[in-house]
């Protein structure tokens, strides 16, 4: 990024750590409680973050591989990973009968 110099790993850790502390302080000032935890979904370890504000809560968990494993709100799950395979069968990625595909014009990007 122009105008931003790369940081050495130790400096980057210190920068991100101080940014996290600042974010936590701001969250507390607004009455938001944020906690972290660990859990296991479909045999995969995950890191979770929970946030509570004005009596409403949300929890999000991501596996060590970066896969969304859990989404919950006010104690009930909206999404929960129940099976995991590092080598799923190719048939899972086949289009259903009657499906069509569209090719994007060259130079088009999807955000």
pLDDT in tens, 2-17: 444 444 444 444 444 5
CA distance 6 to 2: 11
Indicate the pLDDT class of residue 44, thresholds 50, 70 and 90.
Answer: very high
Q: Is residue 4 part of a domain?
A: no
Q: Is residue 17 part of a domain?
A: yes
Q: What is the mean pLDDT of residues 39-66?
A: 93
CA distance 39 to 101: 38
| 3-class state of residue 40 by DSSP | strand
Number of structural domains found in the chain: 1
Q: Is residue 18 part of a domain?
A: yes
CB atoms closer than 10 angstroms to residue 95: 8
Tokens of 64: 């060590």
Q: Is residue 1 part of a domain?
A: no
Q: Give the residue numbers spanning the domain of 46.
A: 9-84
Q: Is residue 101 part of a domain?
A: no
Q: What is the mean pLDDT of residues 38-61?
A: 93
- What confidence score (pLDDT) does residue 10 get? 46
Q: What is the mean pLDDT of residues 19-47?
A: 86
Q: Is residue 26 part of a domain?
A: yes
User: CA angle, 36 as apex, 33 and 40 as ends, to 5°?
Assistant: 140
Q: Report the C-alpha dihedral over residues 48, 49, 54, 56, rounded to 10 degrees.
A: -30
Q: Is residue 89 part of a domain?
A: no
Indicate the pLDDT class of residue 69, thresholds 50, 70 and 90.
Answer: very high
């Amino acid at each position: 990024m122009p105008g931003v110099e790369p940081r050495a790993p130790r400096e980057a850790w210190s920068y991100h750590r101080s940014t996290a502390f600042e974010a936590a302080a701001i969250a507390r000032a607004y009455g938001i409680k944020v906690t972290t935890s660990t859990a296991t979904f479909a045999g995969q370890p995950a890191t979770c973050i929970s946030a509570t504000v004005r009596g409403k809560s949300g929890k999000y968990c991501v596996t060590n591989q970066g896969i969304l494993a859990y989404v919950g709100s006010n104690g009930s799950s909206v999404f929960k990973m129940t099976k995991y395979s590092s080598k799923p069968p190719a048939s899972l990625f086949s289009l259903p009968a009657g499906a069509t595909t569209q090719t994007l014009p060259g130079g088009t990007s999807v955000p």
